[in-house]
Every structure is written in structure tokens, then in C-alpha cells.
Structure 1
Amino acid sequence: MIRLSAFADEISPDLNEQIAVLQSENIHYIDLRSVWQVNVLDLSDQQIQDIKQTLTAGGIGVAAVGSPIGKVPIDSSFADHLERFDRAIAVAKALDTQYIRIFSFYAPVKEEAGSSNPAAYRDEVISHLQEMTRRARAAGVQLIHENEKAIYGDTIARNVDLLKSINDEHFRSVLDPANYLQCDQVPYPDAYEATKPWLEYVHVKDVRPDGSMAVAGEGASDWAAILQRLRQDGYDGFIALEPHLAAAGQYQGFSGPDLFRSASQALQTLLRKMDWSYN
């Protein structure tokens, strides 16, 4: 059975408000990205424990750590970033989740805007991701790579290149159709078919042809067809809401309680129409 989750910092910076809205929407999991406007990796050990206890008391489990790992230029200090990555592993362990959302690095700082040649830094990206995958394997966690705009793996071809090159059960793929649309890629069937062998996680947002964000089913992602195909192929993982309806920033988006509820209800309506049970 699929399980619904959410980037609940899209609701509010306040944890209690996040939980209240999730409960009202019958969503039992969270992709923990930030609380109190503090990134999940910058929370103290005590804060992480307090958050875990509060979530558990509210009937909310942690589906994934929504980390910013890999959202740095490829030529920034990898040693420093590995320290941050190790923190992500420790946080995942403390929150009892096996998943850490990551990215595949921006172009080098020296590149001028629009002039980047991804092939020039491909090998370094793969080397960095291989080291992180090795550490994830040793720790017993799984990295899930999001196809975010402007990182190395933002297109279908480069995402598949990463997945094939790393070829490890601890480095898997997030399907984010709206992100593909923002990179002029076709999310379904093209991206779905190409990345299906590594599919581990699904992010739900939608985008209209004019670039504005929309609830699932009102944009160009073809969510009805994607959900039908996921069900046909036996997908039984997490489907996480990340609607970005009010704002979309480099490190997080925001919707607010009312727009988040609209996004939640749109997704759940699609699932009910196809009689796909979820938890």
C-alpha cells in the first residue's frame, strides 16, 4: 500500500501547526526538511529528539530526511560537505528513517550563468556521489536523488547516467514530474520509463505551461496517468506532497495551510477516483 507524506514546512515553520494540518488531511508521514525555519541538518541532537517525540505523539512518522545534500557547487569543499552528509546520516538514524533526499551538485562556481558544460564535471559528480553512496551503504540508509533544476542530474539523460554509473541499491531515484517539466523534459512517459528501474520515491507537485505551480492534476504533469502507471507497476512506496504553491526557493518551498490543504485534497481525490488505497 502506498503511503502519503509531505514536506510539512510548506504548511508552517511551526511543528505543532504542521502536525495539526497533517492530521486534518489524514497524512501520517513527513519528509523532514525544516522546523522553526531551521534546516533539518542544523537542528541540535536535542531538537531532533524533541521533534521525533512530538511527531510520534501526533501519530506522524518520518518518511525521509529532506536534506540539502548535493545542493552546492561541485568545486566547493567536498570534505566540508561530507561532514554535513555524515550529519544527515546521523539525523536519519535518530528519526528512524532509511531515506535521505539528496541532489547531484551545481555547476562550478567559476562558470558563468548559462555557460555550464555538465560533461566537464560529470566524473567529479559521480565520484562524490559514489563516496556518499559508500557511506550510506555502510550506515544502512538509502539515498534518493531528486531531479532538481540546475543540478547535474536535472535532465532525463543525465539522471539515468548517474543511476547507471553508480548502480547501487543505496542510490535510487525520486520521480518529480514538475521538476522535469521545468527542465523542458517530458515526465510521462519519457522520464518515468527511463528511470523506472531505479524508482524509489515520488514527489507530488504540478506546473502549468506558463511556469506557475498548480495542484496535482491542474498542470502539465499528467498525474492521472502517472498514478495509474505507478499502480499498474506495483509501486508501494511513499508519495510525498511538495506543492510550492505560494513560493519556491532554492532550499524550500512554501504553500501555507490553506493552499497545502488544496494540494492534499487534489492528490487524494485523484487516488480515490482510481480506487487506490493509501495510508
Structure 2
Amino acid sequence: MKLTTGLNPYGLTYYLGLQGSGTPRHNPDGVGLEGFIKLTEELGGKAIELWDGWLKDKSDGELAALKQRLDTLGWKRVVSSGLQHGDMDQLIRCAKALDAQYIRVAMTPILCGDRAAAGQKWHDLVASVHEKLQAAVPKLTAAGVVLLIENHQDFTSRELVNFCDEYGPSVRIVFDMANTFPVAESPLDFTRVIAPYVRHCHVKDYRAVIEPDGFRLVRCPSGDGCVPHKQMFDILAEHNDEMVACIEIGALDDRHVKLFTPEWWHGYAPKQAEDLAACLFAVQKNRFEVGEEWRTPWQRNADHELIDYELSQYRKSAANLKAQGLM
């Protein structure tokens, strides 16, 4: 499988000026799209995921100039947004202007697999996802663009496949390789289920903090945590001749998955004990030891550390992936 690897912006939110927007903790000197392109160049990336907030107000001429720049660099490109609030017509416009084959979307705001805590809102969100996908597919098909739905700590592997089967080849999967744990699936099991439908990967990683009610997932450089990227790409290669991938680091807040509490499981299909055991075994690799500091600088209110923290994690991720032949 030919793997083309680059960068995704969501682990650089403070550096780029996206974190804490409208609050006193916002970074007023964020480097934005230009700084993101420069970092992708520095790290030797050959693909880039572009947040739609950078694109939606650009004129046709400005988008054409950006396309020319990306063409000159020889980079693959993916447009990135959210299904609930993204403007599909605008996203397709940007994708077509940039010659981007894929539009990536997170489908709901639910995190940590915590659909039960959302109550009725979860069911309303699922209905909204179906409604929005049904409306989007004719537009996507006409434009020749594929919508990539992400496992954003909300849907299971089989639920994602069901969306793809229901809505056809204009809907496929962007695989966040670390987001299997929040829905109680091991990385390898999740990969085996979705592999034929994956078109783009977020090469992310976590280190876990084991808690009485489950575990916390804390960001770390890709390759330093519990996610077996190489084995997962080997499975994907059985079904794909090529793949676009982007380094992503997790959020500046941890993700607390409370799957040791009975109520967390409400809304999920029954699960085999062996499958849950595989998840719980895998998440312990490179975990934090008891008493070890796991909080990010954002959580410790050490904002002066954030830029170096984010950049060092991306640089270490690139080095790790290059050492594994994945970049």
C-alpha cells in the first residue's frame, strides 16, 4: 500500500490560534494556515488536512492560488469540517476548488463514547446524521467528492460500516486510529471491521491513566502510546492500494472513558467478553504509572508551555513514523 503522510491541525490548536477562541486564554499570535503549511513542509509531510474555517471566506481566486501552491508542493489535501454545523455546499465548493477528493467530518459532538450521558440528545443526533447524510449524497455524487465520516469517539466500527453501506460509495471512513478505545474496541479489532471502507487515517496515539471507573486517554506523540499503527496499516493494506494519512495529536483535555460503570453501556449493543478484554489489554501499553503527572499544560494552566509542547509532540511523531517507514 502506498502511504502518503502529512499533518492534521487539531493537535496544534494553541499554536495555530484556535484553542480558547473568544476567551482570555486564546493565543493572539496564532500562526494560522500559513504557519501550518510551513510546519508541514518542515516535517516533510506530503499531505495536509485543511480546517474549513480557513477556507470558507476565501474567494475563488484565493482558493485557486492555494490549490496552485499545494500542487507545486505535490501534496494530497483533505477538507475538514463537522457534519452538524458544516455547510455542505460550501465544503463541496472548497473541495472542488482545491482539487480535494475528500471532505472529512466528525458526525456528532459526543466524546468518550458517552452516548448514555447525552440521553435523548444522542438519539436526536443519530437521526440528524441520517438526515444530513441523505441530503448530502446527491450533491457529493454530482461533484465527484467523497465524504469521509470519522470515528470521533461516538460510533462503533460496525455502525460506521452500516452508514457506508446505507449511503453508498460517496460515504466512506476517515479512521482516527486512537479513537477505538472510547467505544470499547481494541485498535486491531476495529481496523479489521472497517478496513475496506477507510480512505484516510488520523495517525493519533494516547497514553492511558487507569481509573476506578475506567480510563483517561491523554495525548502523546504518535508512536509513544498504546496504538499499534504499523499493525493497523498492515491490515488496511490488505484492502487498499493507497492511503492518505495525517499526524494528529489528541486534544489538550484528556478523554475520560467511564466504561467500568453500568450506565455507560446504555445505548450500546451487547459485547463479547473477549472483545472487551482485547480493548482493556491494549490500552495499558505505555500507560501512566500511579502518581505520574499526566495533565497537559492547558490543564495545569501553564499556557506559556503550550507552543513548545504542541510543536515537540508533532516533531516527535514525525520522527517516530519515519523510523517505522510510515512517513
TM-score (norm 2): 0.65
Residue 120 of structure 1, CA deviation: 6.0
Counterparts of residues 178-217 of structure 1 (less than 5 Å): 178-188=178-188, 190-210=189-209, 211-217=217-223
Corresponding residue for residue 20 of structure 1: 38
Residue 43 of structure 1, CA deviation: 3.9
Task: Report the AA paired with residue 238 of structure 1.
Answer: V
Provide structure 2 residue ranges, at least 5 long, that are not aligned to the other structure. 17-30, 210-216, 256-306
Q: Alignment partner for residue 114 of structure 1, among 103, 113, 118?
A: 118
Corresponding residue for residue 140 of structure 2: 136
Corresponding residue for residue 149 of structure 2: 145
What are the Cα deviations for residues 28-76 of structure 1, in whole angstroms up to 9, with x where unaligned?
2211116xxx44334444443343344445x1534210122x144xxxx
SS at match of 2:184: coil
Choose 1 or 2 for highest CA Rg. Answer: 2
Between the aligned partners of 1:123 and 1:234, the Cα distance in structure 2 is: 31
Task: Report the AA paired with residue 106 of structure 2.
Answer: F
Question: Within the alignment, does 1:271 sit opposite 2:306 as a pair?
Answer: no
SS at match of 1:271: coil
What are the Cα deviations for residues 229-251 of structure 1, in whole angstroms up to 9, with x where unaligned?
233444411011112375689xx
Corresponding residue for residue 225 of structure 1: 231
Change (3 A) 1:3 1:123: same
Residue 88 of structure 1, CA deviation: 0.1
Provide structure 1 residue ranges, at least 5 long, that are not aligned to the other structure. 73-80, 273-277
Q: Alignment partner for residue 94 of structure 1, among 97, 115, 129?
A: 97
Q: CA RMSD in A?
A: 3.0
Contact 1:181–1:207 (Cα < 8 Å) also in 2: no
Change (3 A) 1:203 1:112: closer
Between the aligned partners of 2:237 and 2:45, the Cα distance in structure 1 is: 19
Between the aligned partners of 2:123 and 2:129, the Cα distance in structure 1 is: 10
SS at match of 1:178: coil
Corresponding residue for residue 261 of structure 1: 315
Tell me how many residue pairs correspond in the alignment.
246
Contact 2:249–2:314 (Cα < 8 Å) also in 1: yes
Contact 1:175–1:203 (Cα < 8 Å) also in 2: yes
TM-score (norm 1): 0.75
Change (3 A) 1:45 1:162: same
SS at match of 1:209: strand
Residue 182 of structure 1, CA deviation: 2.7
SS at match of 2:141: helix
Corresponding residue for residue 41 of structure 1: 56
Percent identity between the aligned chains?
Answer: 22
Task: Report the AA paired with residue 14 of structure 1.
Answer: G
Contact 1:62–1:95 (Cα < 8 Å) also in 2: no
